[in-house]
Amino acid sequence: MLIGAQIVAGFAVWGMLAGAAPPTPKVLILGVDGMRADAMLRAQTPSIDRLMAEGCYTWSAQTSDVTVSGPGWSSFLCGVWRDKHGVRDNTFRGADYEAYPHFFVRLREIAPRLSTAHLCDWLPIDQFILGNFEPDHRFAVDYEDDGDAKTVDAAIAMFTNHRPDVTFIYFADVDTAGHTHGFHPFVAEYLAEIEEVDGQIGLILDAVFSHPEAAHEDWLIILSTDHSGTLDGAHGRNEPAHREMPMIVSGARSARGMLHDTANQVDIPATALAFLGLTPLPEWNWDGRPVGLRTVTPLGENIVFNGDAEYTLGYPDAKSNAGIAGWNDIGPMTVVRYGASEGFPSAAAGARIGGGRNFFCGGSGPDRISRMEQSIGIADLTARIDAGDIWFELGAHLGGYASQRDCATVICEFIDAYGGVRGRAQVGPVMAADRARELGSKGLDLTGLVRRDVRGAVPSGTRRVRLTLVAEAGSGDNDGYADNITLVLHAR
């Protein structure tokens, strides 16, 4: 893949002329089923190269633990993980699209004047996820009936005559090639299909940007997938090769280069709304947040997303598990409700620390250690960091169960532009003996959490931080607990 070296001719300038009226924001979301990141990088993809050159990208965005299309596209289009939308396989049984609908439904609630378009060739997306909602433009055909080509033709015709505000276009054939020949960067047939879809994307982009109206429009283009896959032609397993996926956010107002913030599938609807100047309503209970847009790192406030475990519904035990909003969570780490069964920290224990409804728990699985990570880009502070002007405060409530040895630790690594670690800070673990001193001396149950904080200078050369929550089990299920994880940056 040649990043920025090949620019597709005919694209309109992304921006506006001096003195012109502000351009109209438009969003195009491209969903390529079964797109594996390393194969996309090896293929010859000038259209995707263009998007990367004009935006930001990551190869480690996350889908959920159930890596099949039903839950994948539901999370992608509804902005919530499977514990909310209820889809666990391709039968779509258990779906709760009434409570967690396609984001087009939400868009119409708060911005009814915006027009929408939905084009796809896997019929369950149209039948179940979009359902009874009627966008302004709708096209659905079966992928086995030359579906991708027909979808592209419909998209070109639409963009020639109409300019919807938000468009979703789905491509099926890359996934079909992966199942038939293997999802792998050295499978020629799989690469050929990626290149075919890239050409189709190029035709769509030509239709978008060659139109006279394009000079008065400001486009954000998001490209991602529902899952990856492996050489055996399979996906569906809870493993990195099936869960990690590409995501590209491209446009004049997007960030540039590698996306350092943790990105998840559920972030796509929130990103689209943020670009349009809209804010999701709290009652939607979305798991996603905007990623890939140009932002300024705030000083004096917590920059950890979902450090309080409140973006998840919370479970009654350590065995249940789903995606955790804002985190790369490949493993048994889960979210448990205060006051749940089996002797977890009580609601009163949660209230004492301002813990809200939920806390993080190590979970249940064969491994004694579980972990999850969150990456946060802070490159906009480069000059001040390198001048020694920025310092940090890292903190968390940490704990465990009764007198067991289970514990949790939060590690913050300061990463430079080349992936090197410039420095490291840590809070925890809080062991049973620590809880005995700090909780037991007050007559409180030893099952609980205690605050730990540390501060220091952000090392020169830091461009992002990587937070890792590590929970370690002494016996049985992993009862390492954490809540209220914070990282605050300050100027001297």
> Under 8 Å CB-to-CB from 207, ≥6 apart: which residues?
155, 156, 159, 160
Tell whether the model's pLDDT for residue 408 goes beyond 80.
yes
Determine how β-strand 55-62 pairs with β-strand 257-258: parallel
pLDDT (average), residues 282-294 = 95
Supply the pLDDT for residue 9: 32
Q: Choose between 204 and 322: higher pLDDT.
A: 204
How many whole angstroms separate alpha carbon 324 and alpha carbon 80?
10
Domain-embedded: residue 465? yes
> Under 8 Å CB-to-CB from 91, ≥6 apart: which residues?
70
The CATH number of whichever domain residue 478 belongs to comes to 2.60.120.260
**Type of residue at 54:** E
Residues 84 and 233 grouped into a single domain: yes
Domain-embedded: residue 279? yes
pLDDT (average), residues 193-207 = 98
Tell whether the model's pLDDT for residue 15 goes beyond 80.
no
**Residue 17 pLDDT grade (very low, low, confident, very high; cuts 50, 70, 90):** very low
Residues 257 and 369 grouped into a single domain: no
What is the b/e burial string over 149-188, where b = at least 16 CB atoms within 10 angstroms of the residue's CB?
ebbbebbbebbeeebbbbbbbbbbbbbbbbeebbbbbebe
Q: Is 30 helix (H, G, I), strand (E, B) or coil?
A: strand
Residues 363 and 239 grouped into a single domain: no
**Residue 366 pLDDT grade (very low, low, confident, very high; cuts 50, 70, 90):** confident
Domain-embedded: residue 14? no
Supply the pLDDT for residue 18: 46
Supply the pLDDT for residue 20: 62
Supply the pLDDT for residue 236: 83
Boundary (domain end) residue, out of 284, 303, 323:
284
Supply the pLDDT for residue 19: 56
> Under 8 Å CB-to-CB from 192, ≥6 apart: which residues?
177
How many whole angstroms separate alpha carbon 314 and alpha carbon 306?
13
Number of domains in the chain: 2
Residues 277 and 354 grouped into a single domain: no
**For residue range 62-86, what is the model confidence (pLDDT) as tens digits?**
998 888 999 999 999 999 999 999 9
The token duo for 194 is: 């990626």
Residues 379 and 264 grouped into a single domain: no
**For residue range 429-480, what is the model confidence (pLDDT) as tens digits?**
999 999 999 888 776 788 999 999 999 999 999 999 999 999 999 878 899 9
Q: Within a 10 A sphere around the Cβ of 457, how many other Cβ atoms?
A: 15
Residues 360 and 274 grouped into a single domain: no
Supply the pLDDT for residue 346: 92
Tell whether the model's pLDDT for residue 39 goes beyond 90.
yes
Q: Is 488 helix (H, G, I), strand (E, B) or coil?
A: strand
Domain-embedded: residue 311? no
Q: Mean of the per-residue pLDDT values for the chain?
A: 92
How many whole angstroms separate alpha carbon 448 and alpha carbon 331?
23
**Residue 331 pLDDT grade (very low, low, confident, very high; cuts 50, 70, 90):** confident
Tell whether the model's pLDDT for residue 2 goes beyond 70.
no
Tell whether the model's pLDDT for residue 3 goes beyond 50.
no
Q: Choose between 67 and 171: higher pLDDT.
A: 171
**Type of residue at 249:** V
Cis bond leading into 164, ω under 30°?
A: no
pTM of this prediction? 0.87
**For residue range 86-128, what is the model confidence (pLDDT) as tens digits?**
999 999 999 999 999 999 999 999 999 999 999 999 999 999 9
**Residue 330 pLDDT grade (very low, low, confident, very high; cuts 50, 70, 90):** confident
Structural domain span for residue 256: 24-284
Supply the pLDDT for residue 14: 39
Residues 271 and 342 grouped into a single domain: no
Boundary (domain end) residue, out of 261, 284, 307:
284
The token duo for 169 is: 């276009």
Domain-embedded: residue 245? yes
Residues 276 and 410 grouped into a single domain: no
Q: Identify which of 401, 201, 240, 389 has the alpha carbon closest to the alpha carbon of residue 328.
A: 240
Are 209 and 253 a contacting pair, CB within 8 Å?
A: no
Q: Identify which of 220, 201, 417, 378 has the alpha carbon closest to the alpha carbon of residue 296.
A: 378
Percent of the chain residues topping a pLDDT of 70: 96
Tell whether the model's pLDDT for residue 143 goes beyond 80.
yes
Supply the pLDDT for residue 154: 98
pLDDT (average), residues 406-424 = 97
pLDDT (average), residues 351-357 = 95
Can you tell me which residue has the tokens 């938000």? Answer: 166
pLDDT (average), residues 250-254 = 96
Q: Which residues pair with 410 in a beta bridge?
A: 427, 469
**Residue 177 pLDDT grade (very low, low, confident, very high; cuts 50, 70, 90):** very high
300: Cα within 13 Å, side-chain hemisphere:
2
Domain-embedded: residue 5? no
**Residue 239 pLDDT grade (very low, low, confident, very high; cuts 50, 70, 90):** confident
Domain-embedded: residue 10? no
The token duo for 195 is: 């290149």
How many whole angstroms separate alpha carbon 350 and alpha carbon 448?
8
Supply the pLDDT for residue 313: 83
The CATH number of whichever domain residue 224 belongs to comes to 3.40.720.10
Domain-embedded: residue 293? no
